[in-house]
Structure 1
């Protein structure tokens, strides 16, 4: 593989941590003064794309000496309801015999949303092609995969903006203790990101499999099998999470009313907003639980919960649309 990357190691490491999602979408690479290069978007993450060449020999000859060149990736989604064409500013990074990786010059929210919708449409088409007798377990598997991939994207997207939000809040902090705590939280969230993401996603998938429910109430289990109220600090933390979840439940009220009986029937349990693994309450409280071992101040956790809500407001819409299709 020919590496034409001369970017910063930190940026590259950050990009490689993002989960990559497979897709198939025709595109072209354009740059003023150079011929257009036909290719196919084969996977994407929040940091960039991998493009497979239609004509590798010609593409490599054209790109080999354009290290770190600024280009545009142009595509029109094949299954889009409109004929919108996306033009993504990007930088050439890793050239291989079959294709090239590019990093985004700025985060292309709408283009990534279009690629995610395309992936979901492909999932639905594969299910539609199955014989009716085999569709039920396949639908469970597909729904589980969509949920898992959505949660991974949610956390990746959160980590891209959370540091800036914490730093901005530190500037407005009421005192030196809060200021220092918020700046320290930036490092702690980055340090624990992989572990938090793993716990966050696994808790929700366990709830979906009935292995272990996510605690969405302001109580905790006791040694004798009963329930007890959580302490004051834990209650404030629970309240912050519940407040953000409630905002999302209001935003997606109609979709959740339709989704809950479908999920209950598909996965075999009585599904409501308190135990719906696809719902804001379970997702929010699973994230709260995943943060328990991260040593950050309460204000930093509140900012994280609000950031999660903002990201979910964007990511849940296509997930719910697919579940209701």
Structure 2
């Protein structure tokens, strides 16, 4: 099989951006939600849709199947599959090399990439004028800095107290020494910690302002992890449950922020790149402490302190950010509950359509629903949507659970067109409410 990840093949196969929801199935991971980010004739890059949690245990060399939905003019919804071998992995996603890309699948991927380009162009056309947008970005940066400094000041005070308490309860001299060493290191590095956290979030904010939100990340991946990488992974693993809880707690506020930032930036905002997002904020804070190499027990004390200080503070930040953007005319009528009702109706319609549309032959070019229609977010006061005409951060109705209030059907039965898990295979988890741009319809817009 050709190595599509080599520099030679990366030059031979220019990558095309493609934002579309999918699932990936493998022997070691079961079936997991993901999102296609780009592709070329040799392979594709996909991002996990696991919220802030730890990534599934995928490894280089694993054979996987990627499944995504396509909506046809006459036959309703159908699934398309492509198989490949994992070429590299990292925290946010993975790349695969195709085993074989047939002409029908290649044509569909090309149409979906064209739809992504048209969507981004429509978002750019509806974004505020550059001067107005620039002033808003500066206000957002000031707001973020103000709240971040308050959060960090509270955190540094809280973690200092927590480490002293844990040192007093230590069961050995060595453990107590670790806690006291962590206290000294944090006091010594207070300014450096704050600077590192601010730099990471400023970089994300500048990336959004420059329209670089959802592109593939150029992060190291491969077979091995350095010592720092292992420590970072363990820290994020411990932090993942905190992130998941806070994303659920603030799902309405996060939905509105992501939609408004998408409109302001003229592109689709990835929650991992959203500096106001729970995952980005908490991971940036945790990374600020990583160079101190605190050790396992002090790191757990830090995680508890992050949750204790961030949970009450994020609500104030999100309220002020949404008020700032809505007051400036960026989707002022955005309504989360109205979006959920629209999601429920679309889900029921697609279930009905899928039950009437048995699998047929491969789609022809003229069967694919054409690109270029104006998405809902282009209409004043409408609910902004991600790829495929539905809001970012919500599960694909064909690959995730139905919205609240939608019946699941008979016990043990999958919705029409959905795949039943094999014995021993895990069920598809729900996508996080802030898990990124979604294309739940599976349509070629």
Q: How many Å apart are 1:179 and its aligned residue?
A: 1.6
- In the alignment, which residue of structure 2 is the partner of 1:320? 318
Per the alignment, do residues 176 and 324 of structure 1 end up closer, same or farther by CA in structure 2, a change over 3 Å counting?
same
Q: How many Å apart are 1:184 and its aligned residue?
A: 1.6
Give the Cα separation in 2 of the matches to 1:144 and 1:324.
Answer: 13
- In the alignment, which residue of structure 2 is the partner of 1:293? 291
Task: Choose from 241, 245, 248 the match for 1:247.
Answer: 245
Q: How many Å apart are 1:248 and its aligned residue?
A: 1.4
Task: Choose from 161, 164, 167 the match for 2:161.
Answer: 164
- In the alignment, which residue of structure 2 is the partner of 1:284? 282
- In the alignment, which residue of structure 1 is the partner of 2:192? 195
- In the alignment, which residue of structure 2 is the partner of 1:139? 136
1:178 aligns with 2:175: yes
Secondary structure of the residue aligned to 1:259 is helix
Does the 8 Å contact 2:232/2:287 carry over to 1?
no
Task: Choose from 299, 302, 309 the match for 2:300.
Answer: 302
Task: Choose from 123, 148, 152 the match for 1:155.
Answer: 152
Per the alignment, do residues 228 and 153 of structure 1 end up closer, same or farther by CA in structure 2, a change over 3 Å counting?
farther
Q: Provide Cα deviations, 1:58-90, integer angstroms capped at 9, x if missing partner.
A: xxxxxxxxxxxxxxxxxxxxxxxxxxxxxxxxx
- In the alignment, which residue of structure 2 is the partner of 1:238? 236
Equivalent pairs counted in the alignment come to 188
Secondary structure of the residue aligned to 2:274 is coil
Task: Choose from 309, 312, 326 the match for 1:311.
Answer: 309
- In the alignment, which residue of structure 1 is the partner of 2:262? 264
Secondary structure of the residue aligned to 1:274 is helix
Q: How many Å apart are 1:292 and its aligned residue?
A: 2.1
The alignment's TM-score, normalised by the length of structure 1, stands at 0.52
Give the Cα separation in 1 of the matches to 2:296 and 2:230.
Answer: 12
1:206 aligns with 2:208: no
Q: How many Å apart are 1:305 and its aligned residue?
A: 2.3
Q: Which structure carries more relative contact order (alpha carbon 8 Å, separation 6+)?
A: 2
Does the 8 Å contact 2:152/2:194 carry over to 1?
yes
Q: How many Å apart are 1:157 and its aligned residue?
A: 1.3
Does the 8 Å contact 1:245/1:281 carry over to 2?
yes
142-151 or 234-243: bigger deviation: 234-243
More helix by share: 1
Does the 8 Å contact 1:220/1:228 carry over to 2?
no
Give the Cα separation in 2 of the matches to 1:270 and 1:175.
Answer: 51
Give the Cα separation in 1 of the matches to 2:271 and 2:142.
Answer: 21
RMSD: 2.9
Q: Provide Cα deviations, 1:181-236, integer angstroms capped at 9, x if missing partner.
A: 1122111111001001001011111111119999xxxx9933xxx55564654422
Q: Provide Cα deviations, 1:77-113, integer angstroms capped at 9, x if missing partner.
A: xxxxxxxxxxxxxxxxxxxxxxxxxxxxxxxxxxxxx
Give the Cα separation in 2 of the matches to 1:287 and 1:229.
Answer: 25
- In the alignment, which residue of structure 1 is the partner of 2:412? none
Per the alignment, do residues 132 and 221 of structure 1 end up closer, same or farther by CA in structure 2, a change over 3 Å counting?
closer
Secondary structure of the residue aligned to 1:306 is helix
Does the 8 Å contact 1:259/1:323 carry over to 2?
yes
- In the alignment, which residue of structure 2 is the partner of 1:89? none
Give the Cα separation in 2 of the matches to 1:153 and 1:287.
Answer: 13
Per the alignment, do residues 320 and 261 of structure 1 end up closer, same or farther by CA in structure 2, a change over 3 Å counting?
same
Give the Cα separation in 2 of the matches to 1:315 and 1:195.
Answer: 22
Give the Cα separation in 2 of the matches to 1:210 and 1:284.
Answer: 18
Gaps of 5+ in 2: 1-127, 324-445
Per the alignment, do residues 242 and 269 of structure 1 end up closer, same or farther by CA in structure 2, a change over 3 Å counting?
farther
- In the alignment, which residue of structure 2 is the partner of 1:27? none
Gaps of 5+ in 1: 1-130
- In the alignment, which residue of structure 2 is the partner of 1:66? none
Q: How many Å apart are 1:312 and its aligned residue?
A: 1.5
